[in-house]
Amino acid sequence: MNEILTHPSRIKVPYTWSAGEALSRFFKALRDEQKILGSRCLKCRKVYVPPKKTCGTCFVECSEWLEVGPSGTLVSFSQASYPSPAHRVLKPLFGLIRLEGSDTSFLHMLGETNLQSLKIGVKVLPVFAEKRTGSILDIAYFKVVS
Amino acid sequence: MEPVAIIGVGQTAFSPNRKDQTYADLVYEATAAALSDARLSIANIDNIVTASNDFFDGRTISSMAIGDACGAAFGGGKSISTVEGDGTFAAFYGLSRILSGNYDTTLVVAHSKSSEGDLRLLTNAFFDPLTERLLGLDWVSAAALQARVFLREKNIGNIECGNVIVKNRANGAKNPKAHLRKPLSIDEALRSPLLASPLKETDVCPSSDGAAAIILASKSFAQKKSERPIWVRGVGVCADAPLGERNLAESKALRLAAHQAYQMAGIDNPTAQIDLVELSEQFSYQELLWLEELNYRNLSRVNLSGGCLSAHAWIVSGLVRMIEASLQLRGQASNQISNAKRAVAHGQYGLCGQSHSVWVLEN
Ligand SMILES: [Zn+2]
């Protein structure tokens, strides 16, 4: 009588999102030139990486483009010790990276290092994936440079 | 602003798995409790604003699934709208509807069941699908990035965060609705294993199943029909930029929301003029960060209910803060302080607290 049933299910809907003009240019530069591009707001001069088409603060277009990095400074980092179906590796290291010439922090993974060796402020460099497809994973991870 | 009143409050108990009830059943339970608390029937409700997240519920337009449970179809149908985000944002919409002059009463109800989905995947979906989601972050690993920046910039250590956990869990132990009802010692808090460095397991709020509802009323309706209205004297709502564009050691959005609410309520010295604060802290460090932006220094008067560290249903938590603050102002809280006259309730939503709302409530 008091048995409550459950109904396991999942939503599996494929999407094909447009990357739009700004991110297409960004991803193509990663794929074809191994370069990281940012866009600059014409009003406040802020440089966004990943690039944005519009500046949220000024509500104008960010139509100036520039190459940033490749080196950056670690703004923050963490290591997830728990398993997650979203993780690409076991116990991934995540970093917020301020790329040289940029005014925002870029979110990515860290590699060739461990939690104990990381410190806010260390210099990092991107390691590009060998096979690049025009996605954020064309950067495999960032590594610490000594 | 013409004052609007909270004239009824209702919440379910919060627990890790309410397998016995659908989320619509939880909405019905909270709605019925709020109506009974206000001594009103569903016929007295002019319109409804719900809060939910379709990803959490696993269906689109999840509010349609709870329409019957919150009385949307009663009497041939009522005006119902849904806010995707914290329940306090739905309350802000509900308040605006009353101030429009078209409605005397608004039912605001929020629900979520964390147990039915996979929080790691669901909160991974908070991230931009093209530039961030593939990296695998979720709400905890994102908060860990904020915690590291904040704790370092403010020179805050494990002990201060541990003290927040111990205080809130001790308060939560007195709250019959709380999810975690066992006090935690400072040793247990400090020895807890790392979840996402620097966050330990006990730094993170539980993810609960539950629902909450409040009934808002116009001044004239509240004066006629309510024996113990709680008045909204100030409110502020503000959203911030995505986390990569913010200094994570601060929250401009909360500072601005607090400024708006304080100014409306005539508060210039929050610590002296506010008797208690109910805060939406998903992590121990967030209580300290949010309090800085609220400019409130009396830690012992914060989260007397146990806060989110004792019970936290996504979407619902902010509304529970409004309910617990109202109960204190009515003298009916589980951890009642004497002479509570003015309270602040806070809600937040998004990664690392992207959006905030601040409510100044008085009896
Ligand atoms: Zn700008």
Domain boundaries, chain B: 4-119+207-225
In this complex, is the C-beta atom of A91 within 8 Å of any C-beta atom belonging to chain B?
no
CB contacts under 8 A, B 152-191 vs A, are 152
pLDDT at B1 exceeding the cut of 90:
no
- Nearest chain A CA: its distance from B60 CA (Å): 11
In this complex, is the C-beta atom of B118 within 8 Å of any C-beta atom belonging to chain A?
yes
Q: Which long-range contacts (CB under 8 A, 24 or more apart) does B33-38 make?
A: B33/B9, B33/B213, B34/B8, B34/B9, B34/B10, B34/B107, B34/B109, B34/B213, B34/B214, B34/B215, B35/B8, B35/B10, B35/B215, B36/B8, B36/B10, B37/B8, B37/B9, B37/B10, B37/B215, B38/B7, B38/B8, B38/B215, B38/B225, B38/B226
What six digits make up the tokens of A117?
Answer: 């060796």
- Nearest chain A CA: its distance from B361 CA (Å): 31
- pLDDT value, residue B61: 78
In this complex, is the C-beta atom of A87 within 8 Å of any C-beta atom belonging to chain B?
yes
- Nearest chain B CA: its distance from A42 CA (Å): 17
Provide the residues around ligand 1 (an ion) whose CB is within 5 A.
Answer: A 41, 43-44, 55, 57-58
Instruction: Give exposure, B316-327, as e/b (b: 16+ Cβ within 10 Å).
Output: bbbbbbbbbbbb
pLDDT tens-digit map of B278-294 = 999 999 999 999 999 99
Q: Which of B146, B197, B241 sits opposite A79 (nearest CB)?
A: B197
**pLDDT classification of B353: cutoffs 50, 70, 90:** very high
Q: Which positions in chain B touch A76 (Cβ < 8 Å)?
A: 145-146, 148-149, 248
pLDDT in tens, chain A (146 residues): 689 999 999 988 999 999 999 999 999 999 999 999 999 999 999 999 999 999 999 999 999 999 999 999 999 999 999 999 999 999 999 999 999 999 999 999 999 999 999 999 999 999 999 999 999 999 999 999 97
Residue A95: closest C-alpha in chain B: B145
Q: Which of A19, A76, A92 sits opposite B136 (nearest CB)?
A: A92
Whether omega for the bond prior to residue A50 falls within 30 degrees of 0, making it cis, is: yes
CA distance B24 to B167: 33
Domain boundaries, chain A: 20-144
DSSP letter at B252? H
Residue B302 amino acid letter: V
* Burial of B154 from C-beta contacts in 10 A (0-12 / 13-18 / 19+): middle
Q: Which positions in chain B touch A79 (Cβ < 8 Å)?
A: 196-197
B145 vs A108: CB contact, 8 Å cut-off?
Answer: no
In this complex, is the C-beta atom of B129 within 8 Å of any C-beta atom belonging to chain A?
yes
- Nearest chain B CA: its distance from A64 CA (Å): 18
CB count within 10 Å of CB B309 equals 31
In this complex, is the C-beta atom of B243 within 8 Å of any C-beta atom belonging to chain A?
yes
B245 vs A82: CB contact, 8 Å cut-off?
Answer: no
pTM here is: 0.97
- Report the CATH architecture of B4-119+207-225: 3-Layer(aba) Sandwich (3.40)
Cα atoms in the 13 Å half-sphere on the side-chain side of B134: 11
Q: Which of A4, A9, A76 sits opposite B148 (nearest CB)?
A: A76
B303: left (phi over 0), alpha (psi -120 to 50) or beta: left
Q: Which positions in chain A touch B118 (Cβ < 8 Å)?
A: 85
A79 vs B131: CB contact, 8 Å cut-off?
Answer: no
- Let me know how long chain B is: 363
3-class secondary-structure state, position A86: coil
pLDDT tens-digit map of B92-136 = 999 999 999 999 999 999 999 999 999 999 999 999 999 999 999
Q: Which positions in chain A touch B138 (Cβ < 8 Å)?
A: 80, 84, 86
What six digits make up the tokens of B343?
Answer: 């309270």
CA distance B317 to B290: 15
pLDDT tens-digit map of B209-220 = 999 999 999 999
Mean local confidence (pLDDT), B172-182: 97
Using alpha carbons only, what angle is made at residue B217 by residues B211 and B219, rounded to the nearest 5 degrees?
155
CA distance B349 to B115: 19
Which ipTM was obtained for this model? 0.97
Contact B61, B54 (CB under 8 A): yes
3-class secondary-structure state, position A99: strand
Could you give the angle at which helices B284-294 and B252-265 cross, rounded to 10 degrees? 50
- pLDDT value, residue B63: 79
What six digits make up the tokens of B337?
Answer: 């302080």
Distance between Cα A49 and ligand 1 center (Å) = 13
CA distance B37 to B46: 17
Q: Which positions in chain A touch B134 (Cβ < 8 Å)?
A: 88, 135-137
Report chain B's C-alpha Rg in angstroms. 19
